[in-house]
Structure 1
Amino acid sequence: MKVLVACEMSQEVCKAFRAKGHEAYSCDIQTCSGGHPEWHILGDALAVINGNADFTTCDGQTHTVDKWDLLIAHPPCTYLSNAGAVRLYKKINEKRYIDLERFENGQDAKEFFLKFIHAPVEKIAVENPIPSGVYRLPKYTQIIQPYEYGHPYSKKTCLWLKNLPKLTPTNIVKPICSWVSGGSKKSDGTARTNCGMIHDSKTRSKTFSGIAQAMAEQWGIEED
């Protein structure tokens, strides 16, 4: 299969599919951190999503893909996630107002997200946290958790799927805490009982290896 993993710098998903023998490429506007520049396209994923175009990987080699068999996309969630919805509003003189700049950024993020959902690829999976209802994204297909794939953490992740089966848990373990830190206080000002492990945005957005392997094993089956 020819697989495009959009908005991925960690290369976790790309490497999992490569290990199964697929021609997979990661693509991001940032350089890869997964150690395989020969599989990484530095640039906007929308520029290569349609296929029928040459592209150059970070090792300087040129490749041609007529069409992608599978697209797995991880579009930015900064403005779309439900967790960030509290920042959409600001208080002035004890009254709440919508932050128009952030709202417009969210609309741009929604437009970018939908381009992956509607991409001309036969099989599609788009990943994001639970979205804010403000932006009215399409209903997700399923929610997965790291602890269903061998990692003892909770981090609800939504998958929007097209022509793909729901991802099946491979190794359910007991979660010890949340993966993502939401700060020391809740939105109502009370203290959080579980502050989470990770504050760094790059680390918390990285796909868990167990989930990447499940994707490659369950979605990387080529039809006769």
Structure 2
Amino acid sequence: MVAHPPCTYLTVSGLHWNSRPGFEWRAAETEKGLDFVRLLMAAPIPKKAIENPVSCISSRIRKPDQTIQPYDFGHDASKRTCLWLEGLPSLSPAAFPRFPGRRVEWPKGSGKIVERWSNQTDSGQSNLGPSEDRWAKRSVTYANIAEAMASQWG
């Protein structure tokens, strides 16, 4: 099983909404999401991979077995993704050349040079503006990562 549970209410980048006035309902959705992940983890399947961005799964259930980046699999993008594995080896990016990010000084004037990819601003934030389908665009699995999963775990 390779599972991609919905991350809307689990991802660290959105958890701050759970305690804001008018958004208290989100905490219950987070709990439902965590229960679903627990169900997946407990499934009587010998080989499992559960994929999610950095989320409260790590602090509320358990730490991931592996963290990957699209740029390590040849994509011009950064999206730290966690994998919780059972009966499967860590995913290897060896078949793909690492995509080097553009080099920028951040913070500006600091002299510190960091890498950024096409989906990031110079500060490291997402380049994708608000839209009705932003969630779908942000949840795409990169082709080379999917290929690595299929070839290494299939």
For 1:213, what is the secondary structure of its paired residue?
helix
Deviation at 1:133, TM superposition (A): 6.9
Q: Which structure has the highest helix share of the two?
A: 2
Q: Would you say 1:216 and 2:140 are equivalent positions?
A: no
- Residues 34-75 of structure 1, C-alpha deviation per residue, up to 9 Å, x if partnerless? xxxxxxxxxxxxxxxxxxxxxxxxxxxxxxxxxxxxx00000
Question: Which amino acid in structure 1 is aligned with residue 52 of structure 2?
Answer: N
Among 174, 195, 200, the alignment partner of 2:100 is 174
Listed as ranges, the matches of 1:1-224 within 5 Å are 71-90=1-20, 99-132=23-56, 136-169=60-93, 170-171=95-96, 172-175=98-101, 176-177=116-117, 179=119, 193-199=123-129, 200-220=134-154
Q: Secondary structure of the residue that 1:160 maps to in structure 2?
A: strand
Name the TM-score, length of structure 2 as normaliser.
0.77
CA shift for structure 1 position 86? 1.4
How far apart are residue 196 of structure 1 and its match?
A: 2.4
Report SS of the residue matched to 2:2.
strand
Number of residues of Structure 1 aligned to a counterpart in Structure 2: 134
Q: How many angstroms apart in 1 are the aligned matches of 2:79 and 2:36? A: 23
Q: Secondary structure at the match of 2:100?
A: coil
2:72–2:99 CA contact under 8 A, matched in 1: yes
TM-score under structure 1 length normalisation: 0.54
Distance 1:196 1:217 in 2: 30
**Shift in alpha-carbon separation, 1:87–1:166, aligned structure 2, 3 A:** same
Q: Which amino acid aligns with 2:26?
A: R
Please identify runs of 4+ aligned residues in structure 1 that moved more than 4 A: none
| 3-state secondary structure, aligned to 2:67 | strand
Secondary structure at the aligned position of 2:50 is classed as strand
- Aligned partners of 1:174, 1:194: CA distance in 2, in Å? 15
CA deviation vs aligned residue, 1:139-196 (integer Å, no higher than 9, x gap) = 1101000001110111000000000000011321113426378xxxxxxxxxx72342
Equivalents in 2 of 1:140, 1:134: separation in Å? 6
Deviations 1:103-146 (A, max 9, x none): 11110111111111111111000000111379602211010000
Question: Which stretch shows the higher mean deviation, 160-169 or 131-140?
Answer: 131-140
Residue 197 (structure 1) shift: 3.4
Q: What do you get for the CA RMSD once the two structures are aligned?
A: 2.4
Q: Distance in 2 between matches of 1:174 and 1:104?
A: 40
Unaligned runs of 5+ in 1: 1-70, 92-97, 182-191
- Residues 178 and 195 of structure 1, relative CA distance in 2, 3 Å threshold: farther
SS in 1 for 2:51: strand
Structure whose CA Rg is larger: 1
